[in-house]
Amino acid sequence: MNGVHDMGGMHGMGSIQYEKNEPVFHEPWEARIFALNRAVRAWRIWTADASRHAVELIPAPEYLRMSYYEQRLHSLVELMIKSGLVSRAEVENGKSAPNSLKATPALTADAVPSMLAKGKPTSREVPVAARFKAGQAVRARNINPTGHTRLPRYARGKLGTIHLDHGVYVFPDTNADSLGENPQHLYSVRFSARELWGEQASSRDAVYLDMWDDYLECA
Amino acid sequence: MYHESWTPKTEFLVHMKADTHDLTQEKERGHGDQTVPSDLTLRVKALESLLAEKGLVDPAALDALIDTYEHKVGPRNGARVVARAWVDPAYKERLLTDATAAISELGYTGEQGEHMMVVANGPKVHNLVVCTLCSCYPWPVLGLPPVWYKSAPYRSRAVIDPRGVLREFGLELAEDVEIHVWDSTAEVRYLVLPERPAGSEKLSEEELAALVTRDAMVGVAKVKLPQAGANL
């Protein structure tokens, strides 16, 4: 979706606010919402792509107003309600409703280290042919899907070169929306800064994006 | 948010003077009034109790997750990877060919580092990592990202004005240095292998690791030897 989250190349966002010796979390609630988001991922009810999309669906003015962890609180609640794990009334009252769903096996503390060490790889060992090879000229498709996509606006329609083939990976555009993993080749694609931003950019600089087959066409 | 990027604040260089900067932030965060918990504190507490009551989360697991990222996983891991690459050419080659496997040799694997790529700086190439769409960052080697990395100013500007961004971090690159910006649009996570500083030949691997900063591994700084009186 053409959301405000897709901010590569935007002006007007201000100067970088650097905090020296920044703590991992600034407030205890940030740590709790971080951990809640990780713990519920152990249920595997929704994908990381769905989780990102839930953040993107926060209305733009709210997205910009909220802090990072406030966005994650909002998106977690919406995903849990959508999945039927909690109701909005339960979240508002802070109490479980009679006869509501309980006891989805919760992640336990002793399972945390192995869960984190394993992660959730999104590469797939399936035989899918690559449409492009390293060195080939490609054009990023000009698509404007209303759902989740990882093809930023600033690259759409631009000419690039395949830098390398990462292999076969889950495709986020379908995986975010329960339409399946649709695994396909993922490439690192090099775009010259001038192709993306015009003559004002340095002739030496480049931006590399990771792009799936479905984002690309022959140049 | 405590660093609301769209709120004009003092300039970046002022922020480097941590004390004054932090005091300002404290005031804005309202820490003076500890008796009234914030709305967010209450909302998160209520949510956690609800989920615990329903058996959906175990608060002890939350404690373990927080402890991991506050105390066990952080940029020291990445610094060890970098130092190893500086002293061991064979390791460096493995790191640049199959970063995921080479990093796992040091025991760093998993969540948000399942698929790693390491990009090496050189005299004529400088790499910079960003996630314009959200906040993708290589957790096993760097821990959780700082606020500036997740915020709008860095995400919006790193791809269109990398030289201006680096200047704001105090890093001026010569015109003939190529900047490669890596926008983390998939599940591949990027780590910058900084240049080993000149004059560090006699340092041990451990001493080298102590020089490597988070910022250098994101690409917004270089690794420097400590100078007399410098506040590292």
DSSP string for residues in B69-81: IIIISSHHHHHHH
State residue B35's pLDDT score.
59
Residue A126 domain flag? no
Closest residue of chain B to A98, computed from CA coordinates: B54
In chain B, domain spans: 36-72, 74-218
- Contact check, Cβ <8 Å, A106/B6: no
Task: Judge whether A60 is closer than 8 Å to chain B, CB to CB.
Answer: no
Identify the CATH number of the domain defined by range B74-218. Answer: 3.90.330.10
Q: How far apart are CA B96 and CA B119, in angstroms?
A: 7
Instruction: Identify the closest residue of chain B to A109 by CA–CA distance.
Output: B61
Q: Which residues of chain A does B135 touch, with a Cβ-Cβ cutoff of 8 Å? A: 68
CA distance B53 to B151: 34
- Kindly report the nearest CA distance between residue B33 and chain A, in angstroms: 14
- Measure CA of the first residue to CA of the last residue in chain A; give whole Å: 24
- When CB atoms are compared, the residue of B38, B132, B177 closest to A7 is B132
Which residue of chain B comes nearest to A48, CA vs CA? B187
Q: Are residues A114 and A34 located together in one domain of the fold?
A: yes
Residue A12 maps to a domain: no
What pLDDT digit, counting tens, does each position of B16-65 carry?
A: 333 334 333 433 444 444 557 789 999 999 999 999 999 899 999 999 99
Pair (A33, A88) in one structural domain: yes
Asked if B148 lies within 8 A of A17 by C-beta distance, the reply is: yes
Nearest to B113 among A86, A119, A207 (CB): A119
CB B177 within 8 A of CB B219: no
Q: Does A2 touch chain B (CB under 8 A)?
A: no
Whether residue A212 sits in one domain with residue A141: yes
Clarify whether residues A57 and A100 are in a common domain. yes
* Residue numbers in chain B where pLDDT is lower than 50: 1-33, 232
Residue B16's pLDDT is what?
36
Computed over every residue of chain A, the mean pLDDT equals 95
ipTM: 0.97
- How many domains would you assign to chain A? 2
Query: What pLDDT, on a 0 to 100 scale, did the predictor assign at position B228?
Result: 57
Return the pLDDT at B20: 35
Radius of gyration of chain A (CA): 20
User: Residues A147, A213: one domain?
Assistant: yes
Q: Read off the tokens for A32.
A: 């709790």
8 Å CB contact of A20 and B21 = yes
The range of the structural domain enclosing residue A203 comes to 137-218
Instruction: Please count the residue pairs, one from chain A and one from chain B, whose beta carbons lie less than 8 angstroms apart.
Output: 308
Q: What is the DSSP string of B36-56?
A: S--HHHHHHHHHHHHHHHTTS
Tell me the residue type at B118. Answer: V
Q: Domain for residue A4, yes or no?
A: no
For residues A99 and A34, membership in a common domain is answered with yes
pLDDT of residue A101: 67
Q: Which of B41, B132, B181 sits opposite A152 (nearest CB)?
A: B132
The DSSP H or E segment spanning B120 is strand B115-120
| A104 and A145 inside one domain | no
Contact by Cβ (8 Å): B175, A200 = no
Lowest-pLDDT choice from A40-54, A193-207, B93-107, B144-158: A40-54
List the single range of A7-21, A31-45, B66-80, B218-232 with lowest mean pLDDT.
B218-232
- Is A97 at the interface with chain B, CB within 8 A? no
Same domain, A46 and A102: yes
Closest residue on chain B to A111 (Cα):
B61
Q: Is residue A18 part of a domain?
A: no
Q: What is the sign of the dihedral through the CA atoms of B211, B217, B223 and B226?
A: negative
The fraction of chain A above a pLDDT of 90, given in percent, is 88
Q: Bridge partners of B190?
A: B117
Asked if A108 and A145 sit in the same domain, the reply is no
A38 located within any domain: yes
A94 part of a folded domain: yes
Chain B residue numbers touching A196 (CB-CB < 8 A):
159-160
Q: What is the mean pLDDT of residues A70-76?
A: 97
d(Cα A73, Cα B83) in Å, to the nearest integer? 38
Do A113 and A34 share a structural domain?
yes
A52: Cα separation from own chain's centroid: 4
Q: Is A70 near chain B, with CB under 8 Å?
A: yes
Distance from CA of A121 to the nearest CA of B (A): 5
Quick one: A114 and A33 in the same domain? yes
Most B CBs within 10 Å: which of A15, A187, A213, as the mutation test of the B interface?
A15
Question: pLDDT at position B34, please?
Answer: 52
Instruction: Give me the residue from A6, A70, A104 closest to B133, CB to CB.
Output: A6
Residue type, A149: T
What's A89's domain CATH number? 1.10.472.20
- Look at residue B12 in the predicted model and tell me its pLDDT: 34
Pick from B51, B70, B171 the residue to mutate for testing the A interface (most A CBs within 10 Å).
Answer: B51
**Are both A99 and A143 inside the same structural domain?**
no
Chain A residue at shortest CA distance from B153: A13
Q: Do B66 and A34 touch (CB under 8 A)?
A: yes
Mean pLDDT of all residues in A153-182: 96
Crossing angle of helices B75-87 and B89-97, rounded to 10°? 120
The amino acid present at A45, given as its one-letter code, is: I
What band does A100 get if pLDDT is binned at 50, 70 and 90? confident
Secondary structure class of A188 (helix, strand, coil): strand
Q: Which CATH number characterizes residue A176's domain?
A: 2.30.30.50
CA distances to A8, A107, B161 from A113, in Å: 35, 11, 39
Calculated CA dihedral for residues A19, A25, A27, A30, nearest 10 degrees? 130
CA dihedral B136, B142, B147, B152 (to 10 degrees): -30
